[in-house]
Amino acid sequence: MTTTATNELFQTEKEELISGSEAIALACALADVDVITAYPIRPYDTVMQYVSKLKADGSFDCDFIVAESEHSQFEIVKHASSVGARTFTGSSGVGWFYAFEAITVTAGLRLPVVAMVGNRALDDPGAFGVEHNDALAVRDLGWMLYWVATAQEALDIALLAWRVAEDPTVFLPFAVSCDGSFLTHSQAIVNVPTSEQVNKFLPPYDRGKLQLHPDNPITIAPQVNEDWLMEMRRQSDEAMHRSVGVIKKAYEEFKEIFGRGDPSPFVEEYMTEDADIIIVGMGTLALPVRVAVRRFQEAGRKIGFVRVKFFRPFPTEELQEILTKCKAVCVVDRDYSYGAPSYGGVLFTELRSALYPMEKRPLMLNFIAGLGGREVHVNDVNDMVDIVQKAIETGIIEQEATWIGVRDN
Amino acid sequence: MSTVAVEVVYRGIFQRTLARNIVRSIVFAARKEGKIGTAFGRYGDSPERNGIPAKQFAVVADDAEELEEVLARYEPTEVDVTINVDDTMCKGIESWAWYGLQPINQLTKPNGTLIVTSRQDADSLVEDIHQKDTPFDLSIIKSTVSFSGLWVYKDDHTDARILGTLCNVCPQLFSIDSMLQALDEQGNGETKLASAQKAYDVATIRTVEPGEGNSEVPYKFELLGWQTMEEGLVIRAQGKGGGFRGGDEGFQPDRNEVFKKYSTRSMRPVINFETCIKCTLCWLQCPDTCFDITPDGLYDANMESCCGCGVCEAVCPVPDCVTMVSEADFNDNSSQWEAWQEDKPSYQQWMTALVDKQKAETRTHGFHHVGGYTEEIAASEDA
């Protein structure tokens, strides 16, 4: 069990002009993380730059290990977590994929590693801009997945991540997804809390009976076959179920201690009251969509927006309640899933599945947009809403999934 | 509603810290007046390449909702002030991830301001800057270009002078007092604050009228769509080329039709064809295959391809045969060999003048080695 030190950097609450990556690096220092591993890939690498700067400046004491590949990077934190160290790591795009073997076992062994995924398009083509396919690839494996929209939220949710992941009733890894560029490379005003506040919110990581230690002789990860495996999977499934309650409780406490936060930890609603059409999306897409929604509302159109914050655990109940009140749902996917049902994106497919049992089901249309860091503009949102409006008026969906902002020539 | 957007156009890596200081100080100063702001670099420019034009932005608004209105478009579509920290970019800029040439004032709003650090006068700069349909103000800060390297920052007060000037030309942003306070809180010394105050006091503007300036149509081309683009992420190789200017003699490679290096360079080579010994080193070593082989076996640097790296100058064994000189002294990209053929005495005179000027002004394109900054300081103290 580690103790949480009080860092001199964070004696008083202060305002900083920092990027989402710097915000997460500060969260690492605030949470007094013990072991951080790194391997450079854009845009995640900005975090390792800031962590190493904090360490070099003497402001943050941690074991900072630059591995020789992403695979080792994730292996090291996995092992460190098993001996009771609070850990942080991260990657982007194909770097995250290179670590995949370690990523799957981290969840399987119930190790509460926290990772930042700087969302980046998968190669090829080599591109640096945001796409959500990298982080989404772990959706079935037992990682909690959260998409942040601002630098402030990046700092806040990183703190929440350790709190929830390290809860003994959960013990699952947590990935904080940050849109490459829009979040990792833009500096905004962020309120940085005090060590005292953080220590109040975040207890030391206690692995208890599961800690690998000479005083607690155990073997982790033996070979098992069909005789044991399914029960283990069922345990992980149950842990993910339990995380919902843990997240709710932790978020309430977070709001009390830090004095900020949304009504729900799982989704952010924006002007959804009485809305005919609700746009759904994740991450920094919120920015242009909120502006478009405000303009629609000013023009008397009932258009709202829901930002899905937690993708795992998926906020089924919340979305069922919000989305069954509207006529049509406009799902914006910053990802693709070639050959998926209706050739739609991942978020769309999940959402449609979540709404299937409902008595009153809205029309559902999907838009693939903003891939590879291409901007989604207010005009693009207007185009999507026009298509959805037409479907409401005619009662006919001509095409379930439409690519927006792609050059069609 | 009052939102103010400022862009800083700079040369990648060499001026990165300078640009970052400027945009961050803008947000800090605005914060002193209770406004909210954000500072960011254009992601498409990153990772930066040596000397390739790049942009950083500062956007300031009265409240968070106003700020969101502007940021709904990550890269602003227009700015109140464009700050250009290398006057050679007045000819236009082409980022490495953006195809086509963008005029330096493309985003500058009607009646907005373009601040340039330069030793040129306004008329000379206006000749380079592309025409606009609307008027804008040009404000020149008399200064040599402030270049440093990846790990070093030349704190020559260029940032402070620009910020002081900004307070004068864009008073709706914040007062000079707020800026001085912000600079002070960031740990800048008294002399730096004095530089900002002085720049504020002496700032002048010159209005550039619609239609005034460079009439050239900026180079651009159409991007392919998904139905016309070749599948499988394939790029066809350039043809191997043929004779010089399509003739039977010499050699000239085929060149990329959609990516030019016009704005990449801040310096370009001038060649003394009369002392060239035809050793082939410039032609061999040029990383951009920019040398055309003339019918008489000389090497003519083609400005479509030259990125201004200076390798040719470094490898040339003949003194002053290849010399890198300031890009600011050129208004076109024409062939030096053809000019020499046409009138040899005039060419020699023109070339010698440029070489002498470079020796006197010593423009550099960043530090080439560890310790370059220290050497530069020592040299300036000796002078």
* Domains in chain B, CATH or no CATH each: 4-208 (3.40.920.10), 244-257+267-362 (3.30.70.20)
- In 3D space, the residue among B328, B340, B258, B327 whose CA is nearest the CA of residue B299 turns out to be B340
Mean pLDDT of the residues in chain B:
91
For position A275, what pLDDT does the model report? 98
For position B237, what pLDDT does the model report? 87
B309-348 per-position pLDDT tens digit: 899 999 999 999 999 999 989 988 999 999 999 999 999 9
Tell me how far apart the alpha carbons of residues A177 and A247 are, in angstroms, rounded to a whole number: 17
Return the percentage of chain B with pLDDT > 70, whole number. 97
Instruction: Give residue limits of the domains in chain A.
Output: 8-258, 267-403
For position A5, what pLDDT does the model report? 57
Q: Tell whether B19 is within 8 A of chain A (Cβ).
A: no
Q: Tell whether B47 is within 8 A of chain A (Cβ).
A: yes
Chain B residues inside the 8 Å CB shell of A290: 68, 72
B130-168 per-position pLDDT tens digit: 999 999 999 999 998 898 877 788 889 999 999 999 999
Nearest to A287 among B37, B72, B223 (CB): B72
Residue B51 has pLDDT above 90, yes or no: no
For position B382, what pLDDT does the model report? 77
Mean pLDDT of the residues in chain A:
95
Residue B245 has pLDDT above 70, yes or no: yes
CATH fold of the domain at A267-403: Rossmann fold (3.40.50)
Q: What 3-state class would DSSP assign to B358?
A: helix
Residue B380 has pLDDT above 90, yes or no: no
Tell me how far the alpha carbon of residue B44 is from its chain's centroid: 16
Do A8-258 and A267-403 fold alike per CATH? Answer: yes
For position B116, what pLDDT does the model report? 98
Q: Tell whether A344 is within 8 A of chain B (Cβ).
A: no
* Contact in structure between B165 and B198 (CB atoms under 8 Å): no
User: Does residue A313 have a cis bond before it (omega within 30 degrees)?
Assistant: yes
Tell me how far apart the alpha carbons of residues A153 and A19 are, in angstroms, rounded to a whole number: 11
Tell me how far apart the alpha carbons of residues A347 and A281 are, in angstroms, rounded to a whole number: 8
- In 3D space, the residue among A176, A182, A158, A209 whose CA is nearest the CA of residue A32 turns out to be A158
A12-63 per-position pLDDT tens digit: 999 999 999 999 999 999 999 999 999 999 999 999 999 999 999 999 999 9
For position B383, what pLDDT does the model report? 66
One pLDDT digit (tens) per residue for chain A, 409 residues? 444 556 778 999 999 999 999 999 999 999 999 999 999 999 999 999 999 999 999 999 999 999 999 999 999 999 999 999 999 999 999 999 999 999 999 999 999 999 999 999 999 888 889 999 999 999 999 999 999 999 999 999 999 999 999 999 999 999 999 998 888 888 999 999 999 999 999 999 999 999 999 999 999 998 888 889 999 999 999 999 999 999 999 999 999 999 999 999 999 999 999 999 999 999 999 999 999 999 999 999 999 999 999 999 999 999 999 999 999 999 999 999 999 999 999 999 999 999 999 999 999 999 999 999 999 999 999 999 999 999 999 999 999 999 999 999 8
For position A2, what pLDDT does the model report? 47
- In 3D space, the residue among B92, B95, B94 whose CA is nearest the CA of residue B44 turns out to be B95
Tell me how far apart the alpha carbons of residues A57 and A60 are, in angstroms, rounded to a whole number: 8
For position B369, what pLDDT does the model report? 66
Residue B58 has pLDDT above 90, yes or no: yes
CATH of A8-258, one of 3.40.50.970, 3.30.9.10, 2.40.30.10, 3.40.800.20: 3.40.50.970
Most A CBs within 10 A among B74, B150, B226, hence the mutation to make, goes to: B74
Report residue B221's pLDDT band, with 50, 70 and 90 as the boundaries: confident
Q: Tell whether A181 is within 8 A of chain B (Cβ).
A: yes
Residue B183 has pLDDT above 70, yes or no: yes
Residues 216-235 on B with a CB inside 8 Å of A are 223-228, 233
User: Does residue A357 have a cis bond before it (omega within 30 degrees)?
Assistant: no
Give the distance from residue A298's alpha carbon to the nearest chain B alpha carbon, in angstroms. Answer: 14
